[in-house]
Structure 1
């Protein structure tokens, strides 16, 4: 069984520094309204970033394997929180945006669907507590 361990250390005020299994660090903080200094990622925002990063790594890797060229690629993830505590994302929208003059839309859709349905473990985790809605958008340069 594979395990991942992170260590998160309180620095000051509402700031924490958290590492990852590769040794990289990220600053965690909260908004001024919640007592923080707003100088790091919030835990819930990091969850959305993790979802985008996981799927993005899948997509880029698969596009390379399929020799599909793109000029630009971004993922916009929007999460809707519940009103009551503990607040969690009940619905998440994942929008894939591809830009280029000669995009192979069929292959790109196939790659995105492989990430969504088969490879992205973070997306599967989100499905345990939220409705996940996805869309793919193509843009000409």
Structure 2
């Protein structure tokens, strides 16, 4: 996997475009005009772990109609302003969702499969919770 990040010059601009070796692109901004790099990391935590939860729940033959992950993070007060805590709350929507299956899916994602969470382990306190919404 390879990527290139290019600064897009402008007055006081801190906009960058990242491009993967497969041509996919992502714009990031340090001035608040788009997602910041730290915001993209937080969203990546939720997306990566949600992929795992959805796949595991499907393999468990749970009839999900929706899944979302609410994230809350705290950052250090001074530079480097890294994440100190992240909490991920998963909500799975559907009929007759087995909470034991969901608990296991969240646990497996957090401890075994989510590469983004696992990269942060040891540096960031990560906690999780979950809920089922009948639909």
TM-score, normalization by structure 2: 0.89
Structure 2 gaps of 5+ residues are none
Q: Which runs of 4+ in 1 moved over 3 A?
A: none
- How far apart are 1:109 and its partner, in Å? 1.4
Which one of 36, 40, 46 corresponds to residue 42 of structure 1?
36
Q: Which has the higher strand share?
A: 2
- Higher mean alpha-carbon deviation, 73-82 vs 96-105, is at 96-105
SS in 2 for 1:137: strand
Shift of the 7–96 alpha-carbon distance from structure 1 to 2, 3 Å rule, reads same
Instruction: Name the CA distance, whole Å, in 2 between partners of 1:79 and 1:22.
Output: 31
1:138 CA drift (Å):
1.7
2:50 counterpart of 1:56: yes
Please tell me whether residue 17 in structure 1 is matched to residue 17 in structure 2: yes
Q: Answer yes or no: is the 8 Å Cα contact 2:63–2:97 preserved in 1.
A: yes
CA distance in 2, matches of 1:114, 1:91: 20
Q: Which structure 1 residue ranges, 5 or more long, are not aligned?
A: 31-35
Deviation at 1:70, TM superposition (A): 1.0
Cα distance in 2 for residues equivalent to 1:5 and 1:115: 25
Aligned residues: 132
